Amino acid sequence: MKTTFRLVRQDGLVVDADLLPLSSDHLSQFERIWKRMLQPSSEHDSHWDWVRKHRKVSNLPNYEAYALECDQMTEGLMFLECDFHHSRLEPDKNLVYVDFIATAPWNRPSIQAPPEYRGVGTALFTFAVQRSFELEYKGRVGLHSLPSAEKFYNTLKMIDFGSDDNYENLKYFELSTDEAMKIAERFG
Amino acid sequence: MRLHKGGLEGRGLSWGIYALTRSSYIFYIYNIYSWEEYCDLSQKTLMSLNLSLAELELLTQLSEKKEMSKSAVLRQALRMMAVIEERINRGERLYFESLDKEKSEVVIL
Amino acid sequence: MNRKFDKTWLSWAIQIENEAGCDISAGLDLGQNLGEYIANAQGCINQENLRSVLQEDVGNLLSENEIEDIVNLVPERVRSRIKEKLKSFKVA
């Protein structure tokens, strides 16, 4: 399974990037390259260990792990939980919950301006929306944002449910079906 | 019912075989699909299902409540069952928590 | 399944990312940053309320300057105490 997105490189060139199931190569690149750049930084995910996180969920069928790859380099990582989370907007219904999402350090405005590639995070998020439609959750997506990313989810017009006491006081955001439909129009 | 597509090539997902070790069908799926095929949602297998009236009614209710097709409900239910099996097998326990934070364990035999 | 996300999608994605101008990340794992985050988010007690409580209860014993010193000191002490308490808390 491969989904191809387009990204804009720092020099303005439009390039193809593939969204793939997470592989050991992606995790190895995280270990060797991402980690070295993130650990000394003050990013909120500087301590994240994607290898360990993946080990915890790799045998659980409700989790899906993906990487966005461009020119044989891992540009973004994402875990989705697809079965157990309920919508807060429509409590009877399920949604796709973005368990973890992060872009490579060189794609973050906070570390490198301008970023190496633009479109990485949006590609990952768009894929989560697409999975929600495929699972018949009508595009509903939920997540707990890291503080530095809240503006992105506001820009996407996700509903801001405010700080969540049960989730490290991170803000919970949810994408409604209506907004998901608008995003879906961008990819037909 | 045979799902054989030829050969024993490729890798599968371990949860598939784990969750339904008593089902030879699923065991077969594990063995015969390549990784790419396994992940590809467009590669679906059609199978008939025998349900009692009560089970069918339950499926219809869930399908209506969640506004999902019956197939999607069943696929979700299957994945959820596999998760519970896997986590119980790891020695974990399953609890429900009431609104006043009282926990009750779901005993799974 | 292999849907091509073309120029329409890309121009929308770039517009959204430019407008937001921030990182894109999510996940329940603030780890060692949790203390600082909670301290900043919740440790900021309402200085106006504190001032009026102090003025009402001990205003006859302390001067305005002394009350002001306390009002300025307390939030910082609260923040550092919360950080200290949560420092050892680390999620995988």
CATH number of the domain that A15 lies in? Answer: 3.40.630.30
Question: What per-residue confidence (pLDDT) applies to C73?
Answer: 83
Q: Cα–Cα distance between B18 and C34 in angstroms, integer?
A: 37
Q: Identify the domain containing residue A141 by its residue range.
A: 3-187
Nearest alpha-carbon partner for A154 in B98, C16, B93, B36: C16
What range defines the domain where residue B27 resides?
Answer: 14-97
Give contacts of B42 with chain C, Cβ < 8 Å: 1
Count of domains forming chain B: 1
- Distance CA(A118)–CA(C20), nearest Å, equals 12
The verdict on residue B108 lying in a domain is no
**CB atoms C26 and A119 under 8 Å:** no
Residue B94: pLDDT band (50, 70, 90) is: confident
Residue B1 included in any domain: no
- The interface predicted TM-score (ipTM) is 0.91
pTM score: 0.76
Report the mean per-residue pLDDT for chain C: 76
- Asked if residue B8 belongs to a domain, the reply is no
- Give me the number of domains chain A comprises: 1
Q: Report yes or no: A135 at the B interface, CB cutoff 8 Å.
A: yes
Q: Is residue B9 part of a domain?
A: no
Q: Is B66 on the interface with A (CB under 8 A)?
A: yes
The mean of the pLDDT values for chain B is 71
| Interface probe with C: pick from A34, A146, A157, A164, most Cβ of C within 10 Å | A146
Q: Mean pLDDT in chain A?
A: 95
pLDDT score for A187: 78
For residues C60 and C2, the model is more confident at C60
Residue B27: the pLDDT is 39
Number of neighbouring beta carbons within 10 Å of residue A102? 29
Q: Which whole number is the average pLDDT over C42-70?
A: 79
Q: Which two tokens stand for residue C35?
A: 């203390």
pLDDT band at A68 (very low <50, low <70, confident <90, very high): very high
User: Closest by alpha carbon to A65, among A114, A101, A36?
Assistant: A101
> H helices within chain A, ranges in order?
24-29, 35-38, 50-57, 120-134, 150-155, 177-187
Buried b (16+ CB within 10 A) or exposed e, C11-29: ebbbebbeebebbbbbbeb
pLDDT tier at B18, thresholds 50, 70, 90: very low
Burial class (CB in 10 A: 0-12, 13-18, 19+), B65: exposed
**Does any domain span residue B81?**
yes
pLDDT digits (tens, 9 = 90+) for C12-30: 999 999 999 999 999 987 7
Residues 57..116 of A with a Cβ closer than 8 Å to B: which? 59-62, 82-84, 92-94
pLDDT of A99 reads 96
pLDDT tens for A110-166 read: 999 899 999 999 999 999 999 999 999 999 999 999 999 999 999 999 999 999 988
Does any domain span residue B92?
A: yes
Distances (CA, A) of A86 to A35, A90, A139, A141, C84: 33, 8, 13, 10, 35
